[in-house]
Amino acid sequence: MRLILAVGALLLVCSAPLRADNGPAAGASVAFPQVTGDPIPVHSASGRFSSLDPPNQLECSNREVSGRVVAPSLIMVKQLACGRPGHDNLLVNVQLSNPADAAQMVTGRHVAITAKFISALEDRVPTFVAEFLIAEKAKLVAEDPIDRSAPPAKPFTSYMMCQPPELDMLARQLGRELCVQSTIVADLAVTGPALEAAARAPQKVSPDDSVPGNADAISCRFDPGVSDRHLSAIACARNNYWAWYKTKWKDPLSSIPAPP
């Protein structure tokens, strides 16, 4: 699998916290370049966790699924006879056999893919098991037409992005790795100042703690070894996301997808 080959390279960067004095002085303003990263981590079925190479991988009996596109490498499926029973509204990591097909992966579009499907379980702390679903060598076999005259569809869910390249400079200033809600990263021109302020004042809270304040406000929390098992991180998201995660933590089989 492509991700395995890249693990060593990424861990050279991410295996230890970055010192604040490796970058600009703390408190300096941050530029957020629009870039793409490689390798792409896989996301858990809920989108809360990410991993470069989740363990305990088993091949599933599925050969074809359909769902709505969340991102060029993610679709949400209603159900999948794979992994732990009882789940629905699952994120599936799509590893396309033809990279050019990524242009067809338009947010909100319904697609069907054939692939080799893999499930994996990864223990997290404290006492939480993350499930990962991966479609290897995926091929598009059906999709809704694309209306080029329509405005881009708005995200209908979100997921955590650990150490996105756009946030490397901020992570260096903080001396921490960063895991940030995908819809915040996608609109840094608007969300950047609030994200930076929140990341400089992370809270020490547990998943069971209440989430006060405006639902759309961005807040951050210390997240050691939780967002990504390779990283000791600060995790940032809107308050309505943290409220969703509180429910998900208490009921891992909850079918409610994360808010955008």
Tell me whether residue 221 is in a domain: yes
Asked if residue 138 and residue 119 are part of one domain, the reply reads yes
CATH number for the domain spanning 48: value is 2.40.50
Domain boundary among 143, 176, 195: 143
Tell me: do 215 and 170 sit in the same domain.
yes
Residues 138 and 206 reside in one and the same domain: no
Task: List strand residue ranges (DSSP E) for the chain, in order.
Answer: 42-43, 50-51, 58-59, 64-71, 74-77, 90-96, 110-124, 128-143, 160-162, 177-181, 218-224, 232-238
172: in domain? yes
Segments of the chain with pLDDT less than 50: 1-26, 34-36
Domain region containing 84: 42-143
Measured over the CA atoms of residue 40, residue 43, residue 48 and residue 49, the dihedral's sign is: negative
Task: Say if 23 falls within a structural domain.
Answer: no
Q: Are residues 190 and 138 in the same domain?
A: no
Last residue of a domain, one of 143, 172, 196: 143
Instruction: Quickly count: other Cβ atoms within 10 Å of residue 34's Cβ.
Output: 10
Q: Is residue 13 part of a domain?
A: no
Position 251 scores a pLDDT of 87
Whether 182 is covered by a domain: the verdict is: yes
Residues 52 and 125 in one domain: yes
Q: Is residue 11 part of a domain?
A: no
Q: What is the pLDDT of residue 33?
A: 54
87 and 47 share one domain = yes
Q: How far apart are CA 28 and CA 1, in angstroms?
A: 40
Contact 237, 181 (CB under 8 A): yes
Give CA–CA dist 182/27, Å, rounded. 24
For the entire predicted model, the pTM comes to: 0.83
Strand-pairing partners, residue 88, are none
Number of domains in the chain: 2
Sheet architecture: strand order including 232-238:
160-162, 177-181, 232-238, 218-224
Neighbours of 195 (CB within 10 A): 25
pLDDT score at 27: 57
Return all residues near 191 (Cβ < 8 A) that are at least 6 apart.
184, 218
Q: Are residues 50 and 139 located together in one domain of the fold?
A: yes
pLDDT digits (tens, 9 = 90+) for 190-242: 999 999 999 999 999 988 888 888 999 999 999 876 776 666 789 999 999 99
pLDDT at 18: 36
Would you state the pLDDT for residue 150?
Answer: 87
pLDDT at residue 4, rounded to an integer? 32
Spatial neighbors of 164 by CB under 8 A, at least 6 apart, are: 37, 178, 180, 185
148 belongs to a structural domain: no
243 assigned to some structural domain:
yes
Kindly state whether residues 122 and 200 are assigned to the same domain: no
Positive or negative, the Cα torsion across 27, 230, 43, 38? positive
